[in-house]
């Protein structure tokens, strides 16, 4: 007998399927190694060397973090039963407040102020949707519009008459600093520059091992401290949402708030917690952009990452580990924009090989319909690879979005959003 969907959604992430695949960390490790192997094969076929370079991996990590934080923000809100289309606006608020805080006080103060800026957006969304029962989509869209106009207004006040600033950007701001792992990525230890093992491995030119060394060197060398903090939020969220009583209460509000109310859960309060945390994480993702990536606030620099975070949330089936995987996929595709047309073309071949392998796995698991769609997606990616011998400049810019759409449409998913996600809740008024 299988558990009903409501019960399955409330259970912890699985831990009894094997030594590696039985835990989120194990699955990430296995799929990560498989991904590097596929990229190594593609490099051997195409002759390109950019897919597993340390610079590509480093750029992919930086580009994935803001999307991951937005996706995690959406996770808290939707697990509490509130759809948060306003993640983009909350990220915009985080970019402005993060840059302003760093400019006025310092980088870590900027991180905190950016987080608070996003949390204010989350609080506005919570007041509208939880207290006044405004439609969640309408409220989120309104926040996106208000954030864009409001930050332009604040930038005109703060930066218009400042050297290096204007109505659409701030002066240069100080970043939060970075580190490299000693002995593995050449970091320093008590002032001594340690060996760079991953860099040495990358330089050997060995199949797969050198590719793995390049990827690991990019992920462990010159990494921002804010990146490390952001990645730590993933296991923290797994523990908080699936291993604590607080997380159970929050998720119960997204599954059946009326049942949770009958058991004494303060549903309004838990929904507020979820939406405010959602805004804070989106604001942190926004602050990451000026403090780590660009060194200043610039209007429009979020580039729709809040919406892509929602896509990562769906791709990850409303699970932290899945959100991390979806964000990494988009970040890697985005990083190849700077590596030339051959790297972009090779990416389509990698997608085709990956989908063929995934289709075989789906067929083995008895999911024939999913396997058929994955084979169809692989055929599309393979057709693009052969047809685009000279990749147009316009396609390079949209490649990450195209790869993300193909993967979201084709990859096997047992998608199940929280049962009461988006439902309007009134205390004592259970739905019929």
DSSP string, 229-249: HHHHHHHHHHHHHHSSHHHHH
φ/ψ of 269, rounded to 5, equals -60, -45
Cα–Cα dist 347/402, whole Å: 11
What SS3 state is found at 393?
helix
pLDDT surpasses 60 at 235: yes
Exposure string (b/e) for 44-60, b if CB count within 10 Å is 16 or more?
eebebbbbbbbebbbbb
- How high is the pLDDT of residue 432? 47
Cα–Cα dist 414/288, whole Å: 32
pLDDT surpasses 60 at 431: no
pLDDT surpasses 90 at 374: no
- Which residue has 């049962």 as its token pair? 419
Question: Please, which pLDDT band fits residue 329 given cuts at 50, 70 and 90?
Answer: confident
Using one digit for the tens of pLDDT, what is the confidence trace for 264-323? 999 999 999 999 999 999 999 999 999 999 999 999 999 899 999 998 998 888 999 989
Question: Please, which pLDDT band fits residue 6 given cuts at 50, 70 and 90?
Answer: very low
- How high is the pLDDT of residue 21? 59
Exposure string (b/e) for 161-192, b if CB count within 10 Å is 16 or more?
eeeebeebbbbebebbeebbbbebbbbeeeee
The number of C-alpha atoms within 13 Å of 163 and in the hemisphere containing its C-beta is 0
Using one digit for the tens of pLDDT, what is the confidence trace for 146-155? 999 999 999 9
Cα–Cα dist 131/149, whole Å: 25
Residue 59 · residue 52 · CB < 8 Å: no
Tokens of 5: 């969907």
Residue 41 · residue 354 · CB < 8 Å: no
Neighbours of 307 (CB within 10 A): 17
Average pLDDT over residues 387-398: 74
Question: Please, which pLDDT band fits residue 404 given cuts at 50, 70 and 90?
Answer: low
Tokens of 365: 């698991």
Question: Please, which pLDDT band fits residue 411 given cuts at 50, 70 and 90?
Answer: low
pLDDT surpasses 90 at 228: yes
User: Measured at the alpha carbon of residue 320, what is the angle toward residues 71 and 422, in degrees to the nearest 5?
Assistant: 55
- How high is the pLDDT of residue 246? 97
pLDDT surpasses 70 at 7: no
Higher pLDDT, 160 or 272: 272
Average pLDDT over residues 260-265: 94
- How high is the pLDDT of residue 10? 54
What SS3 state is found at 192?
strand
Tokens of 358: 């995934």
Higher pLDDT, 80 or 2: 80
Cα–Cα dist 368/91, whole Å: 40
DSSP string, 73-87: HHHHHHHTT---TTH
Q: What's the burial of 313, exposed, middle or buried (CB within 10 Å: 0-12/13-18/19+)? A: buried
Q: What percent of the chain has pLDDT over 90?
A: 62
φ/ψ of 121, rounded to 5, equals -60, -40
pLDDT surpasses 70 at 11: no
Cα–Cα dist 201/174, whole Å: 33
- How high is the pLDDT of residue 14? 45
Question: Please, which pLDDT band fits residue 4 given cuts at 50, 70 and 90?
Answer: very low
Cα–Cα dist 79/93, whole Å: 23
Cα–Cα dist 67/259, whole Å: 33
């Amino acid at each position: 007998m299988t558990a009903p969907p409501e019960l399955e959604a409330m259970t912890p992430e699985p831990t009894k399927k094997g030594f590696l695949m039985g835990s989120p960390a194990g699955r990430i490790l296995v799929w990560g190694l498989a991904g590097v192997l596929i990229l190594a094969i593609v490099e051997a076929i195409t002759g390109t060397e950019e897919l597993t370079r340390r610079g590509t991996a480093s750029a992919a990590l930086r580009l994935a973090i803001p999307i991951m934080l937005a996706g995690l923000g959406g996770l808290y809100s939707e697990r509490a039963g509130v759809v948060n289309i306003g993640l983009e606006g909350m990220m915009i608020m985080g970019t402005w407040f993060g840059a302003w805080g760093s400019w006025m006080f310092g980088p870590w103060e900027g991180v905190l102020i950016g987080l608070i800026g996003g949390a204010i957006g989350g609080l506005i969304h919570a007041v509208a949707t939880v207290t006044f029962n405004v439609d969640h989509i309408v409220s989120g869209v309104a926040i996106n519009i208000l954030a864009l106009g409001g930050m332009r207004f604040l930038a005109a006040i703060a930066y218009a008459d400042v050297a290096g600033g204007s109505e659409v950007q701030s002066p240069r701001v100080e970043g939060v600093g970075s580190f490299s792992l000693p002995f593995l990525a050449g970091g320093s230890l008590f002032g001594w520059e340690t060996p760079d093992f991953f860099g040495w491995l990358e330089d050997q030119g060995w199949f797969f091992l050198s590719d793995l060394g390049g990827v690991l060197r990019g992920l462990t060398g010159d990494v921002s401290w804010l990146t490390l903090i952001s990645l730590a939020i993933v296991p923290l969220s797994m523990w908080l949402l699936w291993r604590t009583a607080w997380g159970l209460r929050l998720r119960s509000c997204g599954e059946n708030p009326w049942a949770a109310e009958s058991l004494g859960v303060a549903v309004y309060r838990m929904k507020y917690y979820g939406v405010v945390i959602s805004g804070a994480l989106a604001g942190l993702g926004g602050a990451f952009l000026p403090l780590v990536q660009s060194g200043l606030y610039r209007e429009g620099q979020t580039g729709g990452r809040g919406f892509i975070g929602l896509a990562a949330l769906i791709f990850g089936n409303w699970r932290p580990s899945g959100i991390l995987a979806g964000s990494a996929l988009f970040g890697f595709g985005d990083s190849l924009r700077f590596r030339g047309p051959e790297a972009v073309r090779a990416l389509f071949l990698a997608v085709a090989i990956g989908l063929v392998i995934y289709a075989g796995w789906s067929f083995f698991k008895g999911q024939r319909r999913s396997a058929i769609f994955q084979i169809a997606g692989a055929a599309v990616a393979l057709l693009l690879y052969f047809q685009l011998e000279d990749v147009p400049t316009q396609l390079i810019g949209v490649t990450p979005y195209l790869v993300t759409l193909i993967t979201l449409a084709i990859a096997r998913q047992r998608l199940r959003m929280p049962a009461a996600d988006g439902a309007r809740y009134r205390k004592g008024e259970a739905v019929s």
